[in-house]
Structure 1
Amino acid sequence: MKLAPGDMAPVIAASTIHGKPVDLPDSVQRYAHLQFRRFAGCPVCNFHLLTMSRRQAEIAAAGIRQVVFFHSSREEMLKYQAQLPFDCVADASKKHFKAFGVETSVRALLNPRVFWSGLRWVLTTGRLYRRAENGILGLPADFLVDAQGRIVACKYGAHADDHWEVDELLQLASKEPQLAQTASDVAPVMPA
């Protein structure tokens, strides 16, 4: 079952690949950006996270905590995600993927952007993956969750390279209070 803006996000109690607790909702941060990626060595996912990590200071300044889930083991993730400046969670059993309605599909590979994004990772780093834990057909998903656990915005990817870019994420976070204010401004007034 897919989730939608306005829904309450499933509660998360997990640990990062470095043993740091991840509890959501997170009342300390204004938002949590939950990214559901594919397998740890996925060149498309890793290129995307490389671009996200380069702008992590801007993301953090906007009050956004990044939490990235992979359907891989901690050991496999440490080979690829250990250096990232945000929280990365191993979910080899796909517990959190299922709770958020994140799916797999052959469509994951059927877009030219997937090839080019993966190729950029290989050319940038010279790295190839050797294992694809839980397969190569995972689809990505992004969720922006507020401090109370409400989903502000979400995107279920149609293919492996279909996710929010940094500018989209920052725009969503900057618009959300205005959207909430606009909605309350036009709410019907009940007669006394």
Structure 2
Amino acid sequence: MNASDRLGPGSAVPARELESVTGAPALVPDGEHLVHLQFRRFAGCPICNLHLRSVVRRHDEIEAAGVREVVVFHSSAGELREHVADLPFAVVADPRKRLYAEFGVEAVPRALLHPRAWWPLLRAVTEGTWRIARKLDRAPAGLPENGRFGLPADFLIAPDGRVAAAKYGEHANDQWPVDEILARAAESYGSARPVRTSTRA
């Protein structure tokens, strides 16, 4: 994929209403709030689960910053429901990868082969195994839909539908941490909306 196929700041995102796996609508753009549209990998992905737990821990901060989370996986709704039922934000199934194609989000072997992904992957698998053994999480499918080589991506979409900021991951763990989400939101809103900070991980 050429860099010219990717969306960047100022790119227009057509308005749409996505259906979350719970059946609730997810507006992109929102019209009143920034939307953090994040593309994850497959249902039960250990790295995705570890990252999303950090988002859940600080979800109140994210909402207070005027941001609505919408998370996309390239798995079916049926498979996702077993893994994301308790998340406090919209999760969207895109097994045909239409949104991935529209936003230029790739799947390549370097997602897992990049050296900077190895330690996060080991940590995520270790913690995931511990949680699965205690029935806190469900194990992913042995052959996940659309494979294991998806790359993450983050888009902050303004109420008017323009992309305020974007990040295309270079490996499976290359995404915005919560502090980055809050910083990007503060930049987008300027001084109009204060952002609370936290020392939590």
**Which of 90, 102, 107 in structure 1 is aligned with 2:110?**
107
Q: 2:56 touches 2:87 (CA, 8 Å); kept in 1?
A: yes
What is the match of residue 129 of structure 1? 140
CA root-mean-square deviation = 1.6
What is the match of residue 66 of structure 2? 63
CA displacement, residues 150-170 of structure 1 (integer Å, 9 cap, x when unaligned): 100000000110000000110
Within-5 A mapping of 1:1-192: 1-29=5-33, 31-126=34-129, 127=132, 128-130=139-141, 131-178=143-190
Q: Measure, in 2, the Cα distance between the counterparts of 1:11 and 1:160.
A: 28
Q: Give the secondary structure class of the aligned counterpart of 1:32.
A: strand
Percent of paired sites with the same residue: 48
Q: Which ranges in structure 1 are unaligned for 5 or more consecutive residues?
A: 180-192
Distance apart, 1:85 and its partner CA: 1.0
Q: 2:120 touches 2:173 (CA, 8 Å); kept in 1?
A: yes
Q: 1:10 touches 1:100 (CA, 8 Å); kept in 2?
A: no
CA displacement, residues 68-99 of structure 1 (integer Å, 9 cap, x when unaligned): 00000011111111111111000001111111
Distance apart, 1:115 and its partner CA: 3.3
More displaced 10-residue stretch of structure 1: 128-137 or 69-78: 128-137
Q: Measure, in 2, the Cα distance between the counterparts of 1:66 and 1:95.
A: 19
Amino acid at match of 2:123: R
Q: Which ranges in structure 2 are unaligned for 5 or more consecutive residues?
A: 133-138, 192-201
